[in-house]
A and B are shown apart, each in its own frame.
Chain A
Amino acid sequence: MSFNKFLKILITILFCIFLPLISKAAILYLEPDSGEYYQGDTFIVETKVDTEGECINTVEANLSFPQDILTATDFSQGNSILTLWVKSPTIEQESGLISFAGGIPGGYCGKLPGEPGELDLLGKIIFQAKEVSGEQISAELEFLEGSQVLLNDGFGTPAKLTTKGAVFTVLAERLEIPEDEWKKELEKDNTPPELFKIEVHQEPTIFEGKYFIIFSTTDKQTGIDYYQVKEGKRDWKGIVSPYLLEDQSLKSKILVRAVDKAGNERIVEYLPPRKPFPYWIVLVPIGLIIIGWIIKKLKIKR
């Protein structure tokens, strides 16, 4: 091997070693990043973040997928590191777009030493492979511009970001019983969402100073599907937090139901504060009787 050749190899090795250190950036990626599925199969793609040693607190992800090859049937927030969702996961099947934004109060700095399990999960996308013509076809998923990760530095500084998409192959055949990874997860989940509480608030700057409720919970298995509210005798209806109360007199009992993707539910209630018992109704007549009795006694003495 000539010296020049050796030098080239050396430079390449050093470049490979040191480049990742110089260009340290958060990575948004998909797992798995490849795979083969039959038509009709339902599979799960996890969106994840690698903080690369940075402390982050906010993630916005915008993903594109080929809507003619895959159907995005659902999005699961179960076991996500994101606990507050500023933009709930949205699937736009017609345009082949999935987007969400959420955050971690206090931030997330990656795995701690000794961490026993898998972390870094932002959410799970559930795809179903469509019927395809021809032998097989590739489906490419990629993060779009506008995806961002913000540092937990008190200034909302955007982290340098690298994204890694995924490519799946949809085969022309169809299994007699299509594979369904999501159904298996749903069947395993028999745990209701975490306990939570309803808080009633009134703030001059929102809802024109009217009463509203706030609530938030998580589901560690398949994730929260929806929330419903019931005020007094009114019907259940779908809501998000914050919710402007219909009964501004606060006399109605409020129930909020959190339902996870597997249909397990947790219902919590808020009882309106009771008015104190009107003791004067008892005390005033007793007082009058006592006064009358004293007056009567005084008259008898005279």
Chain B
Amino acid sequence: MKNVQIYFLLILVILGGFILIFYYAQAQVSGTVNISAQVPSPPSPPPAGGGGVYIPPIETKVIIQGKAYPLISVTVLQDGKVATVTNADSQANFKVEISKITPGVWTFGVWAEDKKGVKSITFSFTTNIISGMITTISGIFLPPTIEIDKTLVQRGEILNILGQTAPQSEVSIIVNSPEEIIKKTKAETDGTWFYDFDTTPLEEGSHTSRAKATSLEGLSSTFSQALGFSVGKGMPGAIQKVDINGDGKINLVDFSILLYNWGIPKNPATDFNDDGKVNLTDFSIMLFYWTG
């Protein structure tokens, strides 16, 4: 009888394992971004007794929609190049249509500048555009913009962390330390958010802070860029200077300069992580901050 109980218990453990895996798999794809593809409506039939029928060419189109920040311009990239720029409404919603697109695998990116001119990171996604279909990518929610008022603080001093997101979203601020510290705040009706972070629990040294948001409709953003700051002493731990030629954009020009400096940098500004080499790591850092 005792053996039966043990066997029963073990079977429960196995079942529990499967449930965990199922939950885990769901969590991996539970992003709010969704893709749907539909065949455009057929043309209406010609009137009776009419002449020939004009069948318009089948349209291949992409619709990208989601949330950014209220009343700002949103830039949409197509394979790393600027495809179009649109405006978000007062509720931070935006929508763009890209037509005349060749079927195939495309990477789209979306970024925006908040009302203070602070850029978001590029939210990127790759999809297969199918001929004769309208592909709709919805549920995009750009990560919040983030700023800190200083990069060096004394322990116990207040660090102001601020930025912008969609109106009345819940913003989670994550500060790394041996134990991750998570604080929450709510964005105002214009999407601005602010948090007075008390640095008392932080150890001396380098730290980073980043934020993500959940909109009123329940859309979840990915993380913002990580901003570095130091408590007491040391240098900020995050890389913030990737715009090599200082034109406000990170694009093919910066990529060209990076390639020119590949290996041993002639221009130290191309060695983003200061390891004395310009290599794949610097390339990866550049791609993270890409604006097109």
CB of B84 within 8 Å of the partner chain: no
As a 0/1 sequence over residues 138 to 172 of chain A, the CB contacts with chain B under 8 angstroms (1 = contact) are 00000000001011111110000000000000000
Q: How many residues of A contact B (CB 8 A)?
A: 61
Most chain B beta-carbon neighbours within 10 Å: one of A58, A60, A115: A115
CB of A108 within 8 Å of the partner chain: yes
By a CB distance below 8 angstroms, the chain A residues around B109 are 105-106
The answer to whether A115 and B127 have CB atoms under 8 Å apart is: yes
Name the CB-closest residue of B to A215. Answer: B252
By a CB distance below 8 angstroms, the chain A residues around B259 are 86, 242
Residue of A10, A108, A113 touching B29 (CB-CB under 8 A) = A113
The answer to whether A154 and B289 have CB atoms under 8 Å apart is: yes
Q: Interface with B: A116-124, A180-188, A229-237, A284-292, which one? A: A116-124
Q: Interface with A: B171-179, B181-189, B279-287, which one? A: B279-287
Please report the C-alpha to C-alpha distance between residue A68 and residue B207 in the assembled complex, in whole angstroms.
54
Q: Is chain B's binding surface mostly helix, strand, loop or mixed?
A: mixed
Q: How large is the interface on B (under 10, 10 to 19, 20 to 34, 35 or more residues)?
A: 35 or more
As a 0/1 sequence over residues 1 to 33 of chain B, the CB contacts with chain A under 8 angstroms (1 = contact) are 001001100100110011001001000110101
Residue of B37, B79, B103, B285 touching A218 (CB-CB under 8 A) = B79
Please report the C-alpha to C-alpha distance between residue A80 and residue B80 in the assembled complex, in whole angstroms.
13
CB of B128 within 8 Å of the partner chain: yes
CB of A216 within 8 Å of the partner chain: yes
The answer to whether A155 and B36 have CB atoms under 8 Å apart is: no
Q: Interface with A: B45-53, B88-96, B118-126, B147-155, which one? A: B118-126
Please report the C-alpha to C-alpha distance between residue A154 and residue B21 in the assembled complex, in whole angstroms.
30
Chain A residues 177-231 with CB under 8 Å of chain B are: 191, 194, 199, 201, 203, 205-207, 212, 214, 216, 218, 220-221
Q: Smallest distance from the beta carbon of B24 to chain A beta carbons, Å?
A: 6
The answer to whether A103 and B284 have CB atoms under 8 Å apart is: yes
Please report the C-alpha to C-alpha distance between residue A13 and residue B104 in the assembled complex, in whole angstroms.
40
Whether A205 touches B107, Cβ cut-off 8 Å, given contacts A14-B17, A105-B292, A154-B239, is no
A residues near B (Cβ < 8 Å) are 3, 6-7, 10, 13-14, 17-18, 21, 53, 57-58, 60, 78-81, 83-84, 86, 101, 103-109, 112-119, 121, 148, 150-156, 191, 194, 199, 201, 203, 205-207, 212, 214, 216, 218, 220-221, 241-242
